[in-house]
Structure 1
Amino acid sequence: MATAASPRPRAAAELGPAKHLAEDSTLLDALPIAAAVISQDPAGILHLGAHNRNFEAAIEQSTVPGFSKLTETCLRAGLLHDHLQGWFDGQKSDELDFRDGSGIDARYYRLRLAKLPALVSGNRRLLLTVIDRTVEERAERSLREEMLRDSLTGLPNRLAFTEMIEAAALDKGDGKGGHAVLVVDLSRFSRINESMGSLAGDELLITFARRLISALRAGDRLARTGGNEFGIIVSLRRGVADAMRAADRILETVSSPFRLSELEIRVECAVGVALMTGTSEAEELFRNAQFACKQAKASGRAEVYEQSQASAARRRFSIETELRRALDSDQLDLAYQPLIDLRSGEVSGFEALARWVHPDRGEISPNEFIPVAEESGLILSLGRWAMHRAAASLAQWDEQAGHKLPISVAVNLSAIQVARDDVAAVVDDALRAANIGGERLSLELTESCIVQDPGRATRVFDALKSLDTTLAMDDFGTGYSSLAYLQRLPIDVLKIDRSFVSALMVDPDSVAIVRAVLSLAEALSMKTTAEGIETRELAATLAALGCDQGQGFFYARPLKADAALDYWRSRRRGVEAVAPRR
């Protein structure tokens, strides 16, 4: 565009004013777009020189004073004046996007500037071309609006919600209290979709969205951010209290049943809240609210995002990754805590306990990595590894002793293993690999194994008993299983939870519970094991009450495999030394 006015028979400085204006007008009329020549005199004043008919048409359509100033001799004010002056001084770009008017009638232009030869008077000149981008801009805006809107509910979508958060971060509001981001998750939606069809599901979402709108205040903004997930931005005057009141309004609004076709359906939702801070990014805020919403699903009430909880969640995720690597590279080990016969004092067996010493983090507690393993499904691999390692340790002890030892090893089974894995096959493989009998293994299960699926639990217990293994009910008294299962299932041992054992010497209720468990076990021909024995008095009391076995720090902490065998030997020698001679 800039070069169109440049070809001339002689230099601009050799032309008079009338001559260069005539030639400029001729060249400008040949351009198919609006164009004009702007000059700047030595005093810095801008002048409109020649222009073509398209430029005149643009002037006639103009509604913004800054644009119409181009028709005046002196361009002293407005956006264009500032940009043109800056361009002559080498401080502004060669392009400027310009909006003329507002609302749906606004027109959009792109102005381009190109240098022209100076006049003999010393006036500097430029060629201004005006490209009308109104049709293009309106098409882009229409496409963008379509991309930012949820087609089902008509609400802003996930992408638009992120932009809404960014805009809210810049708007402190009248109350100067900032904003909060809420994530609302509609529960049971997948079940409704599966049982009643997608049309009913869509109807529910539309109705749910209308309910949410009715719960909002003026200025609050709502978006559909996922399949059954909605995002809300609320302005705050009194901090987190306003956010929790908004959450309460939402929960109350959706508490009444929804009518779908001929059915009335009651739905629930979880609400997570994240408070907007000056340093929060939009995506981070949204993720924080989603995390709080996940917490709300578990707690049954609206939850506010807490940094400490998120840090713990990130640590759990990190541990999951590291645990998977540890299992692949055999970084875990088993420790063995002695089980003592309370009558004879001999070691009757050991409980195998998983231990993990991370090369960088050091020792990681089982209380931390076992729940992660259960949540992630790694408990299946961990359980198989522990079963094979425990059986192999028994075989190694027999080999070192030169004969079969009168001890067994107890291995814990997770409820998830019982539900998802072929536990009997895992145990059978471990026994075959170690070439030992099933009587050498004791499998400890919690009451949750039974409660989750009694039918499957019964089949698993029967299969394990067919391998001659011993079955122990761990943490007995802390769960919710029916006592009828004790009679129906082939359980051999009841393990009394440490919470009852540790309070035995000071709490009469704990004494009553322990006595009841011991009496129940005797009536059902089961043995008993007490966990958490830490003093001589506890050991003597439990023995006097008739408990069969005990374990705890009074006897020994969990030991490595070689140390466990040495402990068995020393304990046996001690018992033989004090045994009466015949």
Structure 2
Amino acid sequence: MESTSVHNLPVTQTSGTPLVGGDDSHPDCAIHISEWLAALPQLAAIFSYENSEIHFKQGNARFITVFRSSPERGYVQERVAKEWRERVIGFIQSGRDSESFELRRDGKLGPEYFMCTLGRLPAAQGRAEHYLFTAIDRTSERTIEKNLRRELLSDGLTALPNRTGFGEEIDDRLANGSWSDTSQFGIIAIDLSRFSRVNESLGPMAGDELLITVAKRLKSSLRQGDVLARIGGNDFAIFARLNNGLSDALHIVQRIKEALSSPIRLSDLQIRVDCAIGCALSLNLDDDPDDVVRKAQAAVKIAKRTGKVEIYRNGVLKEAQRRFSIESRLRDALAQGGLTLAFQPLIHLQTGEITGFEALARWNDEELGDVSPVEFIAVAEESGLITPLGRWAAYEAAQALSRWDAKFGQALPVGVNVNLSPIQMARDDVASMFEEALRYAGIAGNRLTAELTESAIIADPDKARKLLVALKGLQMPIAMDDFGTGFSNLASLHSLPIDILKIDRSFVSTMLEDHDKAVIVRTILSLAESLNLKVTAEGIETQALALALQQMGCWQGQGYHFARPMGENDAFDYWRARWNFETI
């Protein structure tokens, strides 16, 4: 078969006019508007706007079922008709081609939500402009969103608002409530003091049960319009409308105390709920609620220390912020070696010899400057940093003795006193800590004296006795600090392995002017003698005080009269100068 290339085929010019077929060559494409609407998967309808009125033309079955309650009444329920009408007229007058909005209506099973769209249809000659309305049912999606939001804003255990939900509830009350010119609001913060003990002793299930019961009782103490929230692990807060200022807040506090006064039964135990309560009041309704909540929390921290209901005062939040800064900086200082020890001499009052030094923590921070030990030790105890701080002091004091021995060429005839916090005694293995400090430094136990307060012993006498016996096993002397300011039981004092009583400076510093203080000092000296204990007097700031205590037979003293606390090298030089003087 002979092949022919397509390039060789003849090409002829055709007419530019399309061919017209017969009447039966094309199907009928005319589709009625109702069929177009029926084909749409969403609710759909067509409207017109004539003579300032909206007229329903046609709608699909989905639209009729949902939006048309009856042909006579119109196309939407009365409750949403006004909003819908305003939306449609606004769209028509805007000149835009399309618009979307959400419509809410009340259904048989609750609120229903629809995402609606409006669009313009091409205008036809001789008729008004028409508009296409469509709506997608978003009720299930909104229900899911609502449930998720409820979970986000509420506490899963008590079903109360959480911290975020509490803020939103407050904003809603302030925005939508009816408030007079003299009204203000207050925040009452509540901290369950012994919650951690319940968790540790009875387990988390009991802790959860306690929280649920407390939440119910607190809720029973609320007035109409008050909001209760759980804003932390064992922290609750109440938003209260105050028409009479502080008196209203205190009335609510009294109701809270009454609600929590009776014990709560957990398992077979009756648990008494102790709480710390702090209040903060707004100055006016424009106050930032979050700021008032922070002030209430600052007040409750003070209430935990004082045991009383605390009302926020100006400056308290600043103090709380400083305490937070101190905690943060102290944590870094402990990790990076930012603290130092100062040493205050202990003087034998009969001979003038230096018998030892008391080690005192000192901190100079590059941001905070010189921070008082009274301030940073309180923060350390509150934050739990007292344990690493106490360990650092014990190790550093032992190492200082070791360095002094190396300088002198032999063991110095002095020791160092190290203070023990009651919190460290309760949480740390203090005996092992001292054993390690002595072993690493290579010094004898009798050169490191542990100073502890009466309150540390009274808090848990059995545990304190075991600790003291363990320290005596290391040959360490034991001194009871601030003696006379606590409530020691003399019988237990006699049974404890204590070597030294330290008379608090509050008795010593004014004993020459105050006869009662002098009597107390003499009594302590007499008691110590009968118990075969040595006595150290603190706060000796004048020669007259030193001579008076010497005449009373006091063994040892310390105070500014002899020397202020000094650095490690200065302390060694001070001892060497006095030692040389005494030996000559």
Q: Scaled by the length of structure 2, what TM-score is found? A: 0.79
CA distance in 1, matches of 2:447, 2:206: 57
Partners of 1:25 and 1:50 within 8 A in 2: no
Amino acid at match of 1:81: I
Contact kept? 1:423, 1:460, Cα under 8 Å = yes
Paired AA for residue 569 in structure 1:
R
Seen in structure 2, the aligned counterparts of structure 1 residues 252 and 94 have a Cα distance that, compared at 3 Å, is same
Match of 1:14 in 2: none
User: How much does 1:448 deviate?
Assistant: 2.5
SS in 2 for 1:345: coil
Q: Which of 26, 31, 34 is the aligned partner of 2:40?
A: 31
Native 8 Å contact 2:294 2:317 kept in 1 = no
| Equivalent-residue separation in structure 2 for 1:36 and 1:558 (angstroms) | 90
Q: Which amino acid aligns with 2:81?
A: F
Pairwise CA RMSD:
4.0
Instruction: Count matched residues.
Output: 546
Question: Which range moves more in the overlay, 371-380 or 237-246?
Answer: 371-380
Name the CA distance, whole Å, in 2 between partners of 1:507 and 1:526: 25
CA contact (8 A) 2:298 2:316 kept: no
Equivalent residue for 1:80, pick from 80, 88, 103: 88
Q: CA deviation at 1:465?
A: 2.8
- 8 Å Cα contact 2:46/2:59 also seen in 1: no
Distance 1:473 1:310 in 2: 36
* SS of corresponding position for 1:343: coil
* Equivalent residue, structure 1, for 2:6: none
- What is the distance in 2 between the residues matched to 1:562 and 1:393? 9
Provide the residue aligned with 1:311 in structure 2. Answer: 318
Q: Distance in 2 between matches of 1:436 and 1:146?
A: 60
Distance 1:255 1:510, change over 3 A: same
SS in 2 for 1:371: helix
**Structure 2 letter corresponding to 1:130:** A
Summarize deviations over 1:246-276 as a string: whole Å, max 9, x none: 1112222443566889997754544443435
Counterpart amino acid of residue 521 in structure 1: A
In structure 2, C-alpha distance between the alignment counterparts of 1:103 and 1:414, rounded to whole Å: 67
What is the match of residue 508 of structure 2? 501
Please name the residue that 1:13 is paired with: none
Structure 1 pair 496–223 and aligned structure 2 pair: CA distance change class (3 A):
closer
Listed as ranges, the gaps of 5+ residues in structure 2 are 1-29, 70-75
State the alpha-carbon separation in 2 of the partners of residues 168 and 552 from structure 1: 59
- Could you say which residue in structure 2 is the equivalent of 1:347? 354
SS in 2 for 1:504: coil
Residue identity opposite 2:335 in structure 1: D
Gaps of 5+ in 1: 1-20, 71-76, 578-582
CA distance in 2, matches of 1:261, 1:335: 52
Match of 1:182 among 168, 188, 196: 188
Q: In 1, Cα distance between the equivalents of 2:278 and 2:345?
A: 47
The alpha carbon displacement at 1:149 in A equals 6.8
Alpha-carbon offset, residue 507 of structure 1: 0.7
Q: Say whether 1:233 aligns with 2:239.
A: yes
TM-score, length basis structure 1: 0.79
User: Per the alignment, in what secondary structure is the counterpart of residue 397 of structure 1?
Assistant: helix
Amino acid at match of 1:218: Q
Q: Tell me, what secondary structure is at the counterpart of 2:355?
A: strand
CA contact (8 A) 1:200 1:260 kept: yes
Alignment of 1:381 onto 2:373: no
Identity %: 47
**In 2, distance between residues paired with 1:469 and 1:246?**
53
Query: What aligned pairs does 1:8-407 form with structure 2 within 5 A after superposition?
Result: 27-37=36-46, 48=55, 50-54=57-61, 55-56=63-64, 60-61=68-69, 62-64=76-78, 67=81, 78-86=86-94, 88-89=95-96, 94-100=99-105, 107-117=112-122, 126-134=131-139, 136-137=141-142, 141=146, 160-171=165-176, 173-176=178-181, 177-184=183-190, 211-223=217-229, 230-256=236-262, 267-276=273-282, 278=285, 285-286=292-293, 288-306=295-313, 308-407=315-414
Please point out which of 459, 463, 466 is paired with 2:466.
459
Whole-angstrom CA distance in 2 between matches of 1:295 and 1:338? 35
Task: Provide closer, same or farther for how the CA distance between residues 111 and 563 of structure 1 changes in structure 2, counting only shifts above 3 A.
Answer: same
Task: Give the counterpart letter for 1:322 in structure 2.
Answer: R
Rounded to whole Å, the distance in 1 between the matches of 2:414 and 2:269 is 62
195-204 or 563-572: bigger deviation: 195-204
- Once residues 265 and 464 of structure 2 are traced to their aligned partners in structure 1, the CA distance between those partners, rounded to angstroms, is 40
SS state of the match for residue 244, structure 2?
A: coil
